[in-house]
Structure 1
Amino acid sequence: MDNLEEKMEKLKKAGDIHVQVMKEAIKLVKPGAKLLDVAEYVERRIVELGGGVAFPCNISINEAAAHYSPCYKDEKVFSEGDVVKLDIGVHVDGYIADGAVTVDLSGSYGDLKRASEDALKSAINEIVPPMKVGEIGAIIQEVIESYGYRPISNLSGHVMEKYLLHSGVNIPNVRESSKEYIDVGDIVAIEPFATEGAGQVVDGSERYIFKFLRV
């Protein structure tokens, strides 16, 4: 078992790789570029820098809020006017860095992007563990609504453990009365989603992300 210092070193390395790859990937998201080319670059680059791919690179466009990953021979390309969500996961010996950015190719959704970014910053700044997850959701909701948008209530952040992206504790984007809480030492992915729509997502028809379990 890793001691605390080793754990922190591996988390920091995963985070450093994540930051570097994300910076490079953002520059590749432009009209005419293939989603698959960006995803393959991201995953290859993570490995080149000494990390592992924690989950397939997610590239979700416009009304697709999250969890689309281009498949083999996918011919989809970015277009002018697209709002792109780029979600990358890196691990080092199972310790995971999970983060996403919004790339606005239209130049028209700056406020929408800022709503999510400011909600994330506010949540990070105001977390004092132990803290109920519903209190974090309330912070996120308040910031997003202050911009005139709605938080997406059925997407959430999550607590991560070694080799486990979703440990079972979710971080909501709205006020909740849940008794679950985060504590000192937890590794947390906070994932605010702001929308002009109804504030809920529905499942799409394309499914290309799978998890294999040993039985």
Structure 2
Amino acid sequence: MSSLALVIGNKATSSWSLRPWIAMVHAGIPFREIQIRLRRSDTKAQIANWTASGKIPVLLDGGERIWESYAILEHLADRFPDRGLWPADPAARAHARSISCEMHGGFAALRRDLAMDVLHDLRGQRWSDEAQADIDRISAIWREARGRFGASGPFLFGRFSNADAMYAPVVTRFATYGVSLGVVERSYVDSVLAHPAMQRWIDEAKAEPPMGT
């Protein structure tokens, strides 16, 4: 049995959980999944069993507990250096880390107005000018990464990497809300949605009990 365990929330809506999960599944890193049902009376107490931060995901690695999605991805890249979780080229790797950190710490309006929901079609809903500014910035990030570093494959840096894991929840948001995108961004969204790990995440979300139960 693997020494790694990943504590996550509901697959339908837990954007932060998707990030390390999709990276680990893509990279073939074996782990045990521990799911905590969100929006229940005991959710807070269940999370407290695993982390004092009060948030998930959490990676359990032997006696270590690593929280925050970006920190988990960095830990996985250190732990499994042969899995290519960051681009090999130093310039590409630095750029990938920069845009991943920007995703981790920013885009509050997008998170507020276009909440992750992989189960429903929410096209036609409106969002704020601030959220549209976030969409425009993310679109520019994707175009630059694809243009500078993405020639070898369909993802931001050619091969799937931690940067794609960080933006995977945004991909689902753009699909759920029918966000208008350019050719480069639309092709990227389609590539991430077609990734077998993403397909598995969505299929398992569909099989979950309703939220709050």
Query: TM-score normalised to the size of structure 1?
Result: 0.34
Query: TM-score normalised to the size of structure 2?
Result: 0.34
Point out the structure with the larger helix share: 2
Larger relative contact order (C-alpha < 8 A, sep ≥ 6)? 2
Point out the structure with the larger strand share: 1
